[in-house]
Structure 1
Amino acid sequence: DATSRVQSRNGDHILFVKKKESRVTLLLVYVDDMIVTGDDEEEIFKLKVLLTAEFDLKDLGKLKYFLGIEIARSSSGLVLNQRKYTLDLLEETGKLGCRPASTPLDIGHKLSLRDGELLCEEAKGRHQRLVGKLIYLTLTRPDITFAVNVLSQFMHAPTDTHLKA
């Protein structure tokens, strides 16, 4: 048996991994939420009993939604999407009714540090949070990764042109 622990740098999440022969059990703790999963049903049951004895826990059953990611099960496996997260992001930015673009960034358009006027500190913070949310969205939308990567290059000094892109 081998058990390992991976902790984030800022301490907001911890992942415990237990391997027993070819089977694995995972415990992910994020702030005050946790996920217990793996392919060893007996070990998962034991872990839940142990955790319930120590903490006031509520078992919500099969995972359906976690940190903005929706989980759907099918006969061929799991499907992950961020539909609600995306709709919330579109609403937050006033883009909810907009038509989707075939490419997330205008082809041939080059952004540079000198484009446009620097954003004020408040707008800069909003822009940085938006780009951070877009980076998180790339977990299930790899098609926007290039465009988000381009925008993230200007996080330290965003301009109104970067915001419009």
Structure 2
Amino acid sequence: MILAEGQKVRLRNIGVRDLKAATAHKYTLSITEPLTDPARAREVYDQTGFWTKDAGACAIEGVAEADGGRLIGTLQFYRAGPGIHGLEIGYILHDEDDRGKGYASEALRLFSDLLFAENPWCHRLQLIIETWNDASARLAENCRYASEGTLRKAGYSAPDAPSDCFVYSRVRD
């Protein structure tokens, strides 16, 4: 099912055909837990379809004829935390060759608008971006997310040596 469509990408529900590609990346699916095992991803898919009121994931698919409906990446959301009236978003483009072409920015804008539209209780969307990830920080700012500060030692790329992260948010206007 198509959730949203722009000029470069469409957001749609993840299907069984996407599971192998969607679990090949360390941070691709993490709606109930990090899902890097296709068999476990299939179990979660069968139980939830990767979409609940508290967490979900969708496919980023190219709309250009050259992209042929190919899975470019994924987006996910989950509750930001107790006492926060909002959701946290994560995203990834699978192939480095697809980065810098506007796919992620259009996908994040579409997804943000979709989450606000479908969740009237949600007053805040947030992104947690490791401080070394300049491209992701620029993406956040280009998508009307405001920098709020730094979370010290919150990054997850190295569990034994967590890195600092920037917090970005977009609030309901």
- Regarding TM over 0.5, the answer is no
Q: Select the structure that is richer in strand.
A: 2
Normalising to structure 2: TM-score of the pair?
0.30
- Higher RCO structure (Cα 8 Å, ≥6 apart): 2
Between structure 1 and structure 2, the one with the greater Rg is 1
